């Protein structure tokens, strides 16, 4: 953890991914969630870090919304697509644990459908690192495939790489242990997708986190 590890699964399918998902959002509610996040970030000082940015569509949307966003991803092949499509933007090869280490002030973090690929114990560790790095009030938006079952995250048969679904309450509780305070959440369901999907907006709270990683 805390280092770039590559992402063999996404490296292998980056071309297919880019043609399958030519736009940022599959469902309108996702766009609204990101728009609400962008509004909360406003003119906070620093960069908005898109962790697990993939082919960069959401990073680009945030820049279009006036934010100083950059993307990080461990998959070199996904970043190749991002850099080709958005040559004016900044993309860094880095995983969730290392993403913040070389950066200056952080205005906010967004991590959509990327932390699901971390083993649950690693998620706790990463949230602890983020919490230690962020100033009070910093917004963090996390999106993930969700579960309706309380308890441990569920390993599921993601098409590309190992992935875990979380009950939103469990993810929110882990964020709370690591010094984040929940602002809102959206859980949406669509007949075209087999799982609920969650967007969870939190901010770094005042005070010291109980680091769980």
Judge whether 200 and 112 are in contact, CB under 8 Å. no
Pick one of 37, 41, 108, 112: the residue that binds ligand SAM (CB under 6 A). 112
Tokens of 32: 């609204």
Judge whether 202 and 181 are in contact, CB under 8 Å. yes
User: Using CA atoms, how far apart are residues 84 and 19, in angstroms rounded to an integer?
Assistant: 14
User: Using CA atoms, how far apart are residues 94 and 101, in angstroms rounded to an integer?
Assistant: 10
We find the least distance from the C-beta atom of residue 26 to ligand SAM, in angstroms, to be 9
Contact call for residue 153 and ligand SAM (CB under 6 A): no
Nearer to ligand SAM among residue 44 and residue 199 (C-beta): 199
Listed residue (174, 7, 1) closest to 98, CA to CA: 1
Site string for ligand SAM, 54-93 (x = CB under 6 A): x--xx--------------xxx--x---------------
Nearer to ligand SAM among residue 53 and residue 205 (C-beta): 53
Q: Of residues 168-197, which lie at the interface with ligand SAM (CB under 6 A)?
A: none
We find the least distance from the C-beta atom of residue 207 to ligand SAM, in angstroms, to be 27
* Residue 15, φ and ψ in degrees, nearest 5: -65, -45
Q: Of residues 1-60, which lie at the interface with ligand SAM (CB under 6 A)?
A: 7, 10, 51-54, 57-58
Tokens 């901010």 belong to 203
Task: Choose the stretch contacting ligand SAM; rule: CB under 6 A; options: 107-115, 133-141, 147-155, 174-182.
Answer: 107-115
User: Using CA atoms, how far apart are residues 62 and 155, in angstroms rounded to an integer?
Assistant: 30
By CB under 6 A, how many residues form the interface with ligand SAM?
Answer: 19
We find the least distance from the C-beta atom of residue 179 to ligand SAM, in angstroms, to be 20
Alpha-carbon torsion 70, 17, 25, 195, what sign? negative
Nearer to ligand SAM among residue 44 and residue 112 (C-beta): 112
């Amino acid at each position: 953890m805390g280092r770039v590890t590559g992402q063999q699964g996404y490296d292998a399918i980056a071309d297919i991914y880019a043609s399958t998902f030519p736009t940022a959002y599959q469902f309108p509610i996702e766009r609204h969630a990101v728009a609400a996040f962008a509004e909360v970030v406003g003119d906070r000082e620093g960069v908005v870090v898109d962790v697990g940015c993939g082919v960069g569509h959401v990073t680009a949307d945030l820049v279009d919304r006036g934010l100083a966003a950059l993307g990080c991803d461990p998959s070199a092949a996904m970043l190749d697509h991002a850099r080709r499509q958005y040559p004016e933007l900044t993309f860094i090869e880095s995983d969730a644990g290392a993403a913040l280490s070389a950066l200056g002030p952080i205005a906010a973090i967004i991590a959509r459908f990327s932390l699901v690929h971390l083993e649950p114990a690693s998620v706790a560790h990463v949230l602890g690192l983020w919490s230690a790095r962020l100033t009070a009030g910093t917004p963090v938006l996390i999106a993930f495939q969700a579960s309706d079952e309380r308890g441990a995250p569920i390993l599921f048969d993601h098409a590309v790489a190992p992935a875990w679904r979380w009950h939103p309450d469990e993810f929110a509780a882990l964020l709370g242990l690591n010094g984040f305070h929940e602002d809102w959440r959206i859980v949406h369901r669509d007949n075209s997708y087999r799982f609920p999907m969650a967007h969870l907006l939190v901010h770094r709270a005042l005070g010291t986190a109980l680091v769980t990683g």
